[in-house]
Amino acid sequence: MCKRATLLSGVALAAISVAATGAQAADLSVAAPAYKAPVVAPFSWAGVYIGAHGGYAWGVDTSAFPGFGLSSSVNPKGGFGGGQIGYNNYFKGNWLLGYELDLSGGDISGSGPSFFPTPFSATSKTDYFGTARARVGYGIDHWLLYATAGLAWAHNTFNEAPVGSGLVTFGRDQFYLGLAAGAGVEYALDRNWSVKAEYLYAAMGKERDTVFFFGERSTELTLNMIRLGVNYRFDGSAGATPPASAYPLKAPPPVAESPWFGSYVGIHGGYGWGHANVVNGEIPATPVDTSSLNPSGGFVGTQTGYNWHIAPAWVFGLESETSYGDLSQSGTSSPNGFVVGTKVDWFGSERVRLGVLATPSVLLYGTGGLGWAHVKFNDTGFFDVGSFNQYRIGWAGGGGLEWAFTPQWSTKFEYLYSDLGTYQDTFGLGQKTSTLTLNSVKVGLEYHGNLFATLLGWL
């Protein structure tokens, strides 16, 4: 009995103590739970993007024909609009390396006087053009400052005629291929959308041809461009943590997990053949002269690109390539029997790729885009009657097979057909036209991964 009472008393005392403690606690203020802000990944510029742009361009288009005593300079200007596609990769800290392709259309035109014994006027019009450029930038949160440089091309018509006659005496319908460089700033509105302002200067190079005994005629085009644009980045790439921030300064570079997502660089070699046709109606007192040649030969080159795994079995990509070789042939023209020869020494393409994975390591793809080539043509009778040295721009398409034998290395076989368009040159009442098509087969070796991160990650 005494023990039971003692136990009950102990329980009662414990209950009273708890109640008292609870009463005291009720009189105290209760501290609010500590709030922790959600962890947000640092903003990143890495990934694939597409966009649109518009702007204004102005430049100088000159023509020199010393043998005929004719020269002119025109200042074309006008608005344009177009689209772009590209990608960015971090390679060291906040530094990025990217690649961008763009295409623009507009009316960049002007007219001016020509210097000739009788009054002449010249007109110039560039109606479509584009660039393929590398970009090096530095990202500061939602701001990206960058410099850019690469290839530029343009379609241009340039005509010279006596004032008031309306009759084109000297005219060219041609493409230019040269270099572009500039800088820009881009601001991200959110994790996917951004706006940019950019300046580019394009030196489109000099196109040359010979008009029988009058000698060489040359034209040269330069353009300045200011444009505003908007970009959309895909697949949440804009919200990813910059790769460089996750690694100590001396850490080994990241290893590619898949060859079908990310950037790559490579080398290639192959064989090319084609058809070059020139119809020259500019030679006075002779029939229209035709040259038909089939240049062929080997080549080597390099390529760079970016793959984007858009579905379990589908891969979309961008690729830029440049090749150097000797695709040439000599012969005679008909009916005049002049000695003729043609040579393609530089050529390349800027293309999109769309492929399907036959197996996890084998990609079958089709590809198409812009094709270009540098061609020389000589037409010699008693003197040089119709030579030219110029670039051609057109389209390229084909397909290939790529096998990834490791996550970082692959080899490929590819066929491309390029139609490099028609060049036209007018002299008086005559006209010279030429066309060029190319076929190429090649094998290539590619390294998949951020090459700059690989090279610089050990520094």
pLDDT in tens, 156-180: 998 888 887 767 778 888 899 999 9
Is 230 inside a domain boundary?
yes
Identify whether residues 283 and 301 lie together within a single domain: yes
323-371 per-position pLDDT tens digit: 999 999 999 988 888 889 999 999 999 999 999 999 999 999 999 999 9
Evaluate whether residue 7 is within a structural domain: no
- Note whether 213 and 284 are same-domain residues: no
The residue out of 246, 263, 284 marking a domain boundary is: 246
Which pLDDT band, with edges at 50, 70 and 90, does 235 fall under? low
Regarding whether 259 and 242 lie in a shared domain, the answer is no
Same domain for 140 and 178, yes or no, is yes
Q: Are strands 95-115 and 120-140 parallel, antiparallel or unpaired?
A: antiparallel
Domain count, the chain: 2
- The CATH number of the domain holding residue 142 is 2.40.160.20
Distances 32 to 29, 36, 113, 356 between C-alpha atoms, Å: 9, 12, 82, 56
Are 150 and 296 contained in the same domain? Answer: no
User: Is 419 contained in some domain?
Assistant: yes
pLDDT digits (tens, 9 = 90+) for 31-75: 444 444 444 456 789 888 999 999 999 999 988 887 777 788 899
Q: Is the same domain home to 135 and 199? A: yes
The whole-number pLDDT of residue 309 equals: 84
Identify whether 57 is part of a domain: yes
Q: Are 363 and 372 in contact (CB under 8 A)?
A: no
User: In this structure, are 186 and 272 located in the same domain?
Assistant: no
Residue 415: domain span: 249-459
pLDDT digits (tens, 9 = 90+) for 370-400: 999 999 998 876 666 778 888 999 999 999 9
Instruction: Examine the fold and report which residue of 246, 270, 291 is the final residue of a domain before the chain moves on.
Output: 246
Closest by CA to 445, choosing from 264, 219, 185, is 264
Q: Which of 246, 271, 294 is the last residue of a domain?
A: 246
pLDDT of residue 394: 93
- Cis? peptide before 335, omega within 30° of 0: yes
133 and 258 part of one domain: no
Q: What is the mean pLDDT of the chain?
A: 82
pLDDT in tens, 182-217: 999 999 998 899 999 999 999 988 887 877 667 778
Reply yes or no on whether the pLDDT at 155 is more than 80. Answer: yes
Reported as a pLDDT band with limits 50, 70 and 90, residue 24 is very low
Rounded (5°) CA angle 413-414-418: 165
Q: What is the pLDDT of residue 32?
A: 40
For residue 61, the number of C-alpha atoms closer than 13 Å in the C-beta half-sphere is 29
Residue 441 lies in a domain: yes
Of the pLDDT bands very low, low, confident and very high (cuts 50, 70, 90), residue 285 is: low
State whether 229 and 271 are in the same domain.
Answer: no
Rounded CA-CA distance 448/266 in Å is: 9
Helix, coil or strand: residue 29? coil
pLDDT of 443 strictly over 80:
yes
Antiparallel, parallel or unpaired: β 193-210 and 314-332: unpaired
Task: Name the band, by pLDDT with cuts 50, 70 and 90, for residue 296.
Answer: very high
Residue 444 and residue 360 share a domain: yes
Q: In this structure, are 407 and 458 located in the same domain?
A: yes
Give the residue-averaged pLDDT of 409-422. 96
| Residue 327 within a domain | yes
Average pLDDT over residues 299-311: 91
Element (H, E) at 57: strand 47-65
Residue 81 lies in a domain: yes
CA 369, 374, 380, 383: dihedral to nearest 10 degrees?
130
From 129, 101, 161, 206, select the one nearest 428 (Cα to Cα). Answer: 161
In a domain, 23, yes or no: no
Give the predicted TM-score (pTM) of the model. Answer: 0.79
Question: In this structure, are 158 and 235 located in the same domain?
Answer: yes
